[in-house]
């Protein structure tokens, strides 16, 4: 059974994606968690999560009822251990544009009376994206799309999961969704300063997405991977194939020259809470023959495709 967990970060085209998934999987096979007070939250979630606080009962009910899609304005850590990192997905958006879009959403739908600065200075709206993905490496998520490249991301997602989710547009505050909000330099600088964590996350996600898109266009498979530790004596991390349980062969390069080939097949117990593939045997480690110089450039590449890890 394909059960996808969608971390719906507000104002990232998430409503459009959620409705598209509901249309694809069917209303009867979709459940939602948008807080206990939200009318969109499913009765199953209200009963098992908020009333009985029984996540195992909820997961068993999901399997029994063949639920294929869970979505909500919730942190990834809430359900990722039940649905697995490989089946967890989200969309990220330029942090400045996202927070301004959320402000106008609150003005239109929540009768918010304050100005933009009074909104973006509130703690709950600062670094919203990184908070919702707290403690979960984005490299481990099955799919991380970009709002700005929604259509391209949807094609990659469908290829990865063997789905045919169609593009729909919902909950758009403006007719031209490609146009950016223009702000005075003072407000722009303040939003950026307040949301440094989100800016770093978004830049990192953008690099990952563009690399994945390039592999997708070449018809090459994608590897989820990251470097956990690196020194002048050793390097270690983890890696696994998207949709394939074979161990990943990795080439360790120093200053452009391959010095070793390793396989990602060591146990990573600290990541088991993410529901890893291969039962957590996805780690790799290499000790350099001699300590490296301070200016040495170390690169880890997927031997089969040339994809750079970390």
pLDDT tens by residue, 259-310: 999 999 999 999 999 999 999 999 999 999 999 999 999 999 999 999 999 8
> CB neighbours of 128 closer than 8 A, spacing ≥ 6?
9, 10, 98, 99, 102, 198
> Given this model, what pLDDT does residue 81 score?
93
Neighbours of 261 (CB within 10 A): 11
Same fold, 4-218 and 223-309: no
Rounded Cα–Cα distance for residues 48 and 41 (Å): 12
Domain 223-309 fold? Immunoglobulin-like (2.60.40)
**What residue has token string 């670094």?**
127
Residue 260, H or E segment: strand 257-264
Residues in the chain: 310
CA dihedral 101, 88, 169, 19 (to 10 degrees): -120
Listed as ranges, residues in the chain with pLDDT below 50 are: none
> Given this model, what pLDDT does residue 179 score?
80
CATH placement of domain 4-218? 3.40.50.300
Residue 234 pairs in a beta bridge with 287
pLDDT tens by residue, 182-194: 999 999 999 999 9
> Given this model, what pLDDT does residue 176 score?
59
**Cα–Cα nearest to 85, from 142, 144, 160:** 142
Three-point CA angle 176, 181, 183, nearest 5°: 160
> Per-domain residue ranges for the chain?
4-218, 223-309
């Amino acid at each position: 059974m394909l059960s996808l967990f969608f971390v719906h970060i507000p104002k990232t085209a998430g409503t459009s994606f959620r409705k598209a998934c509901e249309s694809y999987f069917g209303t009867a096979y979709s459940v939602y968690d948008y807080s206990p007070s939200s009318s969109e939250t499913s009765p199953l979630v209200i009963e098992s999560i908020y009333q009985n606080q029984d996540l195992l009962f909820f997961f068993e009910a999901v399997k029994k009822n063949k639920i294929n899609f869970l979505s909500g304005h919730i942190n990834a850590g809430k359900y990722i251990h039940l649905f697995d990192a490989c089946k967890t997905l989200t969309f990220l958006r330029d942090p400045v544009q996202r927070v301004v879009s959320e402000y106008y959403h609150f003005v239109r739908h929540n009768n918010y009376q304050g100005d933009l600065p009074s909104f973006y200075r509130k703690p709950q709206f600062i670094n919203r994206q990184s908070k919702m993905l707290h403690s979960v490496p984005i490299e481990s998520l099955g799919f991380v799309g970009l709002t700005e490249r929604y259509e391209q991301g949807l094609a990659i997602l469908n290829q990865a999961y063997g789905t045919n989710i169609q593009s729909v547009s919902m909950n758009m505050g403006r007719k031209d969704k490609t146009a950016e909000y223009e702000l005075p330099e003072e407000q722009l600088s303040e939003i950026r300063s307040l949301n440094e964590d989100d800016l770093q996350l978004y830049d990192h996600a953008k690099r990952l997405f563009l690399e994945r898109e390039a592999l997708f266009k070449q018809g090459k498979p994608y590897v989820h991977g990251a470097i956990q530790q690196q020194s002048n004596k050793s390097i270690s991390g983890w890696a696994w194939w998207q949709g394939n349980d074979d161990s990943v062969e990795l080439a360790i390069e120093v200053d452009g020259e391959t010095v070793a080939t390793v396989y990602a097949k060591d146990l990573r117990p600290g990541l088991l809470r993410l529901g890893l593939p291969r039962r957590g045997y996805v780690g790799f480690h290499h000790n350099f023959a001699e300590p490296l110089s301070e200016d040495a450039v170390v690169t880890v590449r997927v031997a089969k495709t040339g994809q750079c890890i970390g």
